[in-house]
Amino acid sequence: MRFLTFLAVLLFSGSIFAQKPCDFSVNVTDSIGQYKVTKDYIVYEKVFAGNSSYIFNSIAISDGLPTLNVQFIEKSSDFIKAKCLDANSKIFLQLENGKIVTLLHVAQESCGTMVRDEKGMYNRVLTGYFLFKKDDSEYLKKSPVSLMRIKFSTETVDYIIKNAIKAELNNQLYTPANYFMDYFHCINESN
């Protein structure tokens, strides 16, 4: 019985630390260069009282330069104030090992767009592109993320990153804390 318990724990712990297979939404190589983007992945979801907020991450690489693409989606029956990104915007990722990794926003200012859907709901979408510092990738590959702080142009917002969430959006299981540990290797693969 102890052997079966040990074997189950060993198999479970091995699956936790295994890198996930790469799945790209874009994978183009031509005479100009190479561009790859992983599929969008939910790292934050909040659904409460008819309002919802989501953060999706994808990792892109363009001719050797890795970036984190972050998409913010908010839905509400009430008007949603704009959150903007500018040259001073940053993402701070607090890792479980205590290290803080800083990603810098590209100098492109954006406040996203807002549209009303057929149900009369407001939908605000904002996409930002953040650069990794060279040495920080090693930290991200080795430790889960516990907190994401985003410095917008007018405010700073903290998002608690959970170990696992079953998304109400699509009923799938996500492990946002391990996102970089699971997928950062994708930008280094040749295919």
pLDDT digits (tens, 9 = 90+) for 40-84: 999 999 999 889 999 999 999 888 889 999 999 999 999 999 999
pLDDT digit string (tens) for 82-121?
A: 999 999 999 999 999 999 999 999 978 999 999 999 988 9
Q: Output the pLDDT for position 104.
A: 95
Distance between CA 60 and CA 88 in Å, rounded? 21
Query: Given phi > 0 = left and psi -120 to 50 = alpha, else beta, which region is 178?
Result: alpha
How is residue 162 written in tokens? 């959970």
Judge whether residue 1 has pLDDT over 70: no
Q: Tell me what pLDDT residue 107 has.
A: 76
Helices and strands: H and E segment counts in the chain? 3, 13
Which pLDDT value is given to residue 46?
Answer: 95
pTM: predicted TM-score of the whole model, two decimal places: 0.84
Q: Which structure tokens are listed for 108?
A: 């492109």
> What is the H or E stretch that residue 15 is in?
helix 2-16
Confidence (pLDDT) at 189: 52
Closest CA to 24 of 42, 44, 39, 8: 39
